[in-house]
Structure 1
Amino acid sequence: MKLFTRIIGAVLLSATALFAHAQTPSEYQLGPGDIIKITVFQNPDLTTEARVSEASMITFPLVGSVQVGGLSVQAAELRIAKALKDGGFVQQAQVNVLPVQIRGSQVAVLGQVNRPGRFPLETSNTRLSDMLAIAGGISNAGSDVVLITGVRSGKAFRKTVDIASMYLNGNTADDILLAGGDTLYVHRAPMFFIYGEVQRPGTFRVERDMTLMQGLATGGGLTLRGTQRGITVHRRNAEGKVSSFKPGMDDKLQADDVIYVQESLF
């Protein structure tokens, strides 16, 4: 009867471990701030909930400090089991590690996304596109360009990626692998302003390669009193000085352009 009970217990423990690993991919590496629950089969007194310190260590009964930071869940289980065996405490330890809170390997997503926040790197091959999807994608007010900052090989890392070009031109190399501590920032999309004799004056997004004619159409077109001869564009140069000019209908719009449509005199 005791043997049967031990077999059933082992089966249940194995099922629990499989479920835990299904919820947390084994590729995920534990990091500082993570909270894990550790159980040892047939040793309930050793059940522990521990936080991974900034030095990547946890404190475990009997064996003291154990370094688990940078290890996968499975590797951490093996290391704790080895520490118990080497200390002569449990010879054939069956250790189960279950992450309770994942805080170590996180990426911050800021700016014009639908769900900004901090998100864990649940696998070691999480790419830029994956993280944008986790954050709900770029919002309607967001730019096509994403700024990534972080640390690589101990040095500051900074890269800008044009998401639209990445897909339209097949630049898959720009879909980079992310690392813990990275920050993604999506700035607001470039805007232009239109007022005067148009149907719908206001502020609108500058689409890629947008012309003045397309900008006027976005504003609903001219009113009955408006005239194409009375269109003026006010534009700020790199020095911050604003100048005005009479544009052609096929001229490209730029960020922060102000379009004014005058009333026809006749």
Structure 2
Amino acid sequence: MVTRSNVISNETSNQHVVEGYRFKVISEFSKPEEEEKPSEHKEDKETKEIKEEKEKEENFEEEKETPLAFQPSFVEDLLKKTDEMSNNIIKLQMQVESQESEFNNRLSSELENAKEKYTKEGYEKAKTEFEKEMVELKDRYVKSTAKLEEACKNLDNFIAQNEKELADTAVDIAKEVILKELDKNSAKIAYALAKDLLSELKGASAIELKVSAADYEYLKAQFEDNTHIKISLDDAITKGSVVILSDAGNIESNLNNRLVKVKKMINNE
């Protein structure tokens, strides 16, 4: 009995093209001659079938061994392609790293350039603004100086034009102030004038002070201890004024007369 097995295994089925087997139908109405063929013909037929079966088995063995023959080449190609892919990946990685390094270097360079550029621009801008402010400040200073000089000039012109009037006004103001003080402290003013005048007559041995009635008592009390000084009352003398008579000379100290002299000196009269 002939053992049967699958000619194409499941492992190698993807390497073959399998088509459907078509059975041949033998008609029941075949010719009698064909049914009555001699036994030799039957034997030849069986022998042929056995031979075909062996050939199929041999072909199967060859087909089964064929992948083994091609397997090392396939593995070698696979390894070669794997190496190529690895090399390509390494090259690509190196290229990426190189581009990344180049990008970082370029970025650093651009940042430095931008920093230097904007630092310089900021310095130039600040310098320009500072110079502008200095020019404006100098311009204001020059204008202020010019205004001040003009004001001084106008003041000088005003003083020159009104010098006499200002002097007269000043004397009149001083006179008013003195009159008010005389109403309050005429005796003290007369005493101060007398002391000042007596300092100029130190060599005199006999001195007479003539004063107004309003100042008499006060001056008499102040010079009580000076025996060489005589205090006399004179109605012609105004309050706060003193007239000194001595063997060394005579001196008159009248406030009104003094103010008149000052006024004449100011007016160059």
TM-score of the superposition, structure 1-length normalised?
A: 0.20
Which has more radius of gyration?
A: 2
Q: Higher strand proportion, which one?
A: 1
Q: Give the TM-score taking structure 2 as reference length.
A: 0.20
